[in-house]
A and B are shown apart, each in its own frame.
Chain A
Amino acid sequence: MHEMGIVIHLAKTLDQIAVEHHVTRLGSVTLSVGEVSGIVTDLFQDAWRYFSNKNPLLAGSELKLEVIPAITYCDNCHKTYETVKYGRTCPHCGSGETWLVQGNECIIKEIEAETAPDPSGADQEV
């Protein structure tokens, strides 16, 4: 349920991006998903498969998910550690004064697409 809601919003954002970049065909979408972002990647793929078939832009395109590892920083000893393994307590010094540095993201990293020529020439070719 939660994943489906996110897919619907992703589709809306992609529709806008497609207009901005004069996309004529979408090959793939790559998302960077944080390890502790709350998105279950398998469920997300299922939701994508279900929903993308109903959307003319997304139909037939591939969803690629890249996981960003979760890293926590310790305020007390100034070291970082793996969030999923140790949680909120720093494994180096035992302090609870810790903060998530990365791993909560959910970002559209890039898309692979065919585009119509843009008169302003603003698109970057990579």
Chain B
Amino acid sequence: MKIIELKETITASNDRDAAALREELRQNHTLLINLMASPGAGKTTLLDRTIRDLKNDYRIGVIEADIDSDVDARKLEQLGVKAVQAHTNGMCHMDAGMTRTALNELGFEEPDLIFLENVGNLICPAEFDTGAGRNVMILSVPEGDDKPLKYPLMFTTSDVLLITKIDTMSVFDFDPELCAERARKLNPSIRIFLLSAKTGEGMEAWEEWLRGEADKWRG
């Protein structure tokens, strides 16, 4: 027996798969958005509204990752976009391999913009690169402004933080400035948007960012 020194990260094989997938998507001019949040943060509601607003300008696809159900995929398909259900076989996150399988099922030649609705949880999805071009996280007002302190990695790996359900701000003790300060301390370049998918307030700024990114990838 001999010792082989490695110093390699545990997820090295996933990191390589993710990098290869991201490059393929780039060459294909497809922006894959990895949407992460807690259960009940309103991922599907946000997607529903966003897709309605963008579907005339972009060819949109959706991957719904759930441990075991296709409720959300069916709901979004009613908007006229193609949606597939990715099953994670009981795992609490999507990895690059599972994302590739779902993309193959969806067919990623056609869409300009694909949303991957990751499994609802703020821990595991942050640890596994899916190969997405951009990582977007949702934090809804009822969850509290202390979440950056509790789930730092999620805030570190996200390009965008969407603070949602702002129509409930008066009921909950949520300080958006304090939350933003905590998030920026972990990730100085994070983009933050406050919105309510229910009332539509703030949706425009988020969608403008999204259009800008999708256009960059579309080339």
Contacts and interface: CB of A to CB of B under 8 A. Distances in A.
Given A111-B6, A126-B2, A126-B5, A16 B13 contact: yes
B91 to A, nearest CB: 5
Contacts of A119: none
B101 interface: no
B91 A5 contact: yes
Nearest to B91: A5
Interface string A90-123: 0000000000000010111111111100000001
B92 A112 contact: no
A17 B9 CA distance: 12
Interface centre among A25, A31, A108 (most CB of B within 10 A): A108
Interface residues of B, number: 25
Interface string B71-94: 000000000000000000011110
A16 B128 CA distance: 18
B11 interface: yes
6 contacts: A9-B10, A13-B11, A13-B13, A38-B127, A107-B7, A126-B2
Given A107-B9, A109-B5, 11 more contacts: A4-B91, A5-B93, A9-B95, A16-B12, A25-B1, A38-B123, A38-B127, A107-B10, A108-B8, A110-B4, A110-B6
Closest 5 CB pairs of A and B: A13-B13, A12-B13, A126-B3, A10-B10, A13-B12
